[in-house]
Amino acid sequence: MRVDPAALDQLLHPTLDPAASRDVLTIGLPASPGAASGHVAFTADEAEARAKEGEAVILVRVETSPEDIHGMHAARGILTARGGMTSHAAVVARGMGRPCVSGAGALRVDVKTGEMTVGGRTIRRGEMITIDGSTGEVMAGHVPTLKAELSGDFAQLMAWADRARTMAVRTNADTPHDTETARGFGAEGIGLCRTEHMFFDGDRIIAVRQMILAEDEAGRRRALETLLPHQRQDFAEIFHIMRGLPVTIRLLDPPLHEFLPREEKEFAEVAAVMQVNPEHLRRRALELTEANPMLGHRGCRLGIAYPEIYEMQARAIFEAALHVGEQSGETIIPEIMIPLVSTVAELAFLKERIDAVAEIVFEEKETRLTYLVGTMIELPRAAITANEIAGKADFFSFGTNDLTQTTFGISRDDAGGFMPLYIDYGILSRDPFVSIDQTGVGELVRMGAERGRSTKAEIKLGICGEHGGDPASIHFCHGVGLDYVSCSPYRVPIARLAAAQAALEAKAALEGGKA
């Protein structure tokens, strides 16, 4: 009870030497903990090339996109001028265990000239900088770091925490590496596997773009045939690592703008595969461009418009689960999550198709398995009508990133421009994308949980937004009676300790004593 869960970050990530001098250029958002020094690279290709030559690299972008994933893997840390605590850069970096500073609004990045400017100072490509993802500081030059070390006492503390807590702790993981990392930190399952994150690599993103840009079902199905074996292998590896622990897989939920080609070479790559003119694809991409893509053609809306996408993913899940179950002897019970549902009719429409795919696969394989179909509650309407949605759902997972965004009407990727002022002026006591807003967003979670259980008492309830790793939010989730929280791999120990403290405090309150 005397240990601050947030302090565990210092054990899990490298930290800056407190005795070292620092030349601070600017301060952004502390998007992913840890500290790193490296030579500035302004493109993912440059970061990857420098890293292959043995250089330590910091990838600096205005904002990251799926095309940057190879550079993010290669870099020691990530710095962006735009983006909030749940931006693409922040979420991916946390999953990788890379330090990240996002939303450094004073930073001006010019990729063409290979320079970034801040406070009248210019840092050029190849020059050394240091970032501290725990404080948001960006520094010129190299600042020494201290390596994280986990002692036997850490394991003992975690064992005590596990005996005390009542909520399960899962992880948000999309790759075998993230899954292995989370298991090492004691995760008891996967609460969110974002399948769109599996499509960022070169060959796959071409197939995804082919699917999105196709003008008919036949074209989409050709691209999906390319993706099916990749998806099946991805799921098989994750099921194997989790060894029968629950795995919640969210079906494709991409804001389409994240996957559309942007550069000439990208249009040329997709055009070559589809055997069409690049100019035709540019026109098609323009047709698909949305004014507000985060509230546009994504989530279950994509699955309803193009059911073959979710059908492919469902087939990959069932085939992988049956294969791993047969090989390992473990009972694999996949949990399939349909995103961005706002009405029970959406869930019913897609669940019917998933069930149909299941029957086809079971007949082909001459065997069956148990599976769950549920939804992510991430829109206010879904929380309000949770009693209706629960009639068709085996579980709810509260996606508090989008629920916060849609409740406040604030873009999580743009909040960095004004959120620090809101905190400084006392308009908000804390960033609602970091710690759950209990009186607004939290009330919707409470409402969704209560109304869902009023229809289906045994419905499984969890949270998979980034709030799942925040101690204050975990205390709130315990009070609401959620079954589990899910967070980034490196935050699993923090969640385990916070969940234990929440349980002990609740027990002490019932007994009228002190925890």
Question: What are the tokens at 209?
Answer: 């773009």
Known active-site residue 300: no
Residues in the chain: 515
Catalytic choice (13, 39, 73, 88): 88
Among 506, 436, 496, which Cα is nearest to 465's? 436
Q: By CB neighbour count within 10 A (0-12 exposed, 13-18 middle, 19+ buried), where does 349 fall?
A: middle
Known active-site residue 177: no
Q: Helical H runs in 275-389?
A: 278-288, 300-305, 307-328, 344-365, 380-384, 386-389
Q: Is 43 helix (H, G, I), strand (E, B) or coil?
A: coil
- 3-state secondary structure string across 418-429: CHHHHHHCCCCC
Among 492, 510, 475, 467, which Cα is nearest to 166's? 475
Beta carbons within 8 Å of 425's beta carbon, 6+ residues apart = none
Q: Is 37 helix (H, G, I), strand (E, B) or coil?
A: strand
Q: By CB neighbour count within 10 A (0-12 exposed, 13-18 middle, 19+ buried), where does 124 fall?
A: exposed
* C-alpha angle 5-430-451 in degrees, rounded to nearest 5: 85
In 355-389, which positions are buried (b, 16+ CB within 10 angstroms) versus exposed (e)?
Answer: eebbeebeeeeeeebebebbbbbbbbebbebbbbb
Catalytic choice (193, 300, 464, 477): 464
Query: Token pair 């908000």 is at which residue?
Result: 428
Q: Given the DSSP bridges, would you call strands 108-110 and 15-16 parallel, antiparallel or unpaired?
A: unpaired
Spatial separation of the C-alpha atoms in residues 71 and 83, rounded to whole Å: 18
- Walk across the sheet containing 115-118 and list its strands: 108-110, 115-118, 121-124
Q: Is 68 within 8 Å of 59 (Cβ atoms)? A: yes
Beta carbons within 8 Å of 155's beta carbon, 6+ residues apart = none
Catalogue the active-site residues.
88, 464
